[in-house]
Structure 1
Amino acid sequence: MKILLAVMLCGCVLLQDGPSSAEEKPQFDCGNKETQMEMNACAQEEYDAADKVLNDQWKLTRKAMADWDKELEEDQRGAETALLQAQRAWITYRDNQCIAEGFQARGGTLETMLNIVCLTRMTKNRTQELKDLAEPLGQ
């Protein structure tokens, strides 16, 4: 029993002293990238920011389409549904397009960055498309 208690205590100490799963990722100077890892990390930061803007715009555009649907006769509605289907199709297209672009450096250290740069470019373009859809509807 003493051995079991000792093992449990050691395990607790190891868990306390170990790195937490919520540890912050390393910060890089994105104005002075020197390694592929830094380039990838900085590209990921840019993508994450673009994805946040897209998600914010998505909410506005979806609301605009839902509001538009409410103004139409029931048999004329479908703007929000069409938008949702288009967004789902776009996500599939974006992901596969960016995988295809990554093949330029297949198996190399540059492949990840090519994929992330593609995701960022396409996400920014889609954000503008969503803005263009919402503008005429007052959003």
Structure 2
Amino acid sequence: MRPTASAAMFVIAYCTTGYANDLPPKCNENGSAPEINACAQEEFIEADKKLNHQYKILISNLNSEDIALLRTEQRSWLKMRDPICREESKEYESTTGWIFWFNKCISAKTYHRTEELMRWRTE
């Protein structure tokens, strides 16, 4: 459930923007590319926190068989999310906007997964 792949991509993007020796750019939706990218990164971090919270609630209320099922499902989802978003943001790959579009995609997929987990709880 850790954002390792996307966090690594953020670090790579961050270090290649020329800000590596400065403070990280702050979110500014009307700012420079690094500032806009920071907004998308913050959105993903928030989405991931909500997903982790929902996952913990769900897993605490399941029997061992359902926990195993959920973990398998969650691992499969995680393995698919980033490659799908890399493909969806591929057209921006050589631009400074790539990390923005990638993070918007993983945020959307993470919010959607959180909703799925909420439905899992009510089934």
Runs of 4+ in 1 over 2 A off after TM superposition: 23-30
Uncovered stretches (5+) of structure 1, i.e. residues with no partner:
1-22, 70-77
Q: Using the alignment, how far apart are the partners of 1:103 and 1:44 within structure 2?
A: 18
User: 1:50-129 maps to which residues of 2 (within 5 A)?
Assistant: 50-66=47-63, 69=64, 78-129=65-116
CA deviations 1:43-86 (Å, max 9, x no partner) are: 101110110000000001111223xx5xxxxxxxx211010000
Deviation at 1:111, TM superposition (A): 1.2
Instruction: Please identify the structure whose Cα radius of gyration is greater.
Output: 1
Q: Using the alignment, how far apart are the partners of 2:28 and 2:62 within structure 1?
A: 41
Deviation at 1:24, TM superposition (A): 6.5
Name the TM-score, length of structure 1 as normaliser.
0.67
Q: Secondary structure at the match of 1:65?
A: coil
CA separation of 1:104 and 1:24: change in aligned 2, threshold 3 A = same
Equivalent pairs counted in the alignment come to 102
Q: Using the alignment, how far apart are the partners of 1:48 and 1:84 within structure 2?
A: 21
Name the TM-score, length of structure 2 as normaliser.
0.75
Q: Which residue pairs with 2:31 in the alignment?
A: 34
Quote the sequence identity (%).
Answer: 30
Uncovered stretches (5+) of structure 2, i.e. residues with no partner:
1-21
Q: Using the alignment, how far apart are the partners of 1:130 and 1:96 within structure 2?
A: 21
Q: Which residue pairs with 2:12 in the alignment?
A: none
Deviation at 1:99, TM superposition (A): 0.9
